[in-house]
Amino acid sequence: MGRLHALIILAWALVRTVVTNLLGGRRGLAAFQRSYAADRVPPVSLEERALLPLLGGCVACGLCDVGEGAARVRSGGAYAGVMDLMLASSRSMPDFDAAARSFAAVGDARLAELETRCPARVPMRQVAGFVRGKAAELTQLEPARAGHGRSAA
């Protein structure tokens, strides 16, 4: 029964999407923002889209976490190490405000040092910049979240 229910919901969503697209609705940036603001997902620019494949090269070796214990303690829980930032926190856009606080506990100068030991050449400062920029956009999404629920797909 659960499977049939899921299939009906999926089929209904498909029909609605096809009909809406045929009628010219829900297209473009404004439609994306209407649909995803409530999920805390800002749009990605063409430049950011080109950058994204370069940011995800972490191979989880852990080398960038060596020597970060004191910074982790000082952060009071905001910072769990650079590997966490490269591998997890920087990959969930709705949580980028928390990730930005974590990056603040490291700082770009330290990231520049750690980039030199990264075997995957992850551009850590660029990851930090992307996260900070999107975190700032999340702040701007807050009024949209307060005023509107997510529109139906």
Binding site residues, ligand SF4, CB under 6 A: 58-64, 82-83, 86, 118-120, 122
Residue carrying the six token digits 């800002």? 42
Comparing CB distances to ligand SF4, the nearer of 93 and 118 is 118
Comparing CB distances to ligand SF4, the nearer of 83 and 138 is 83
Could you give the C-alpha distances from 37 to 6, 27, 96, 148, in angstroms and in order? 25, 15, 14, 9
Rounded-to-integer distance, Cα 71 and Cα 48, Å = 29
CB of 62 to ligand SF4, least distance (A): 5
Measured at the alpha carbon of residue 77, what is the angle toward residues 73 and 81, in degrees to the nearest 5? 70
Comparing CB distances to ligand SF4, the nearer of 114 and 138 is 114
Comparing CB distances to ligand SF4, the nearer of 104 and 120 is 120
> Can you say whether the dihedral through the CA atoms of 38, 40, 46, 49 is positive or negative?
negative
CB of 9 to ligand SF4, least distance (A): 39
CB of 115 to ligand SF4, least distance (A): 8
Alpha helices in 43-123 (DSSP H): 46-55, 69-74, 82-87, 96-106, 108-115
- In the chain, how many H helices and how many E strands? 8, 0
Comparing CB distances to ligand SF4, the nearer of 58 and 93 is 58
CB of 83 to ligand SF4, least distance (A): 4
CB of 96 to ligand SF4, least distance (A): 18
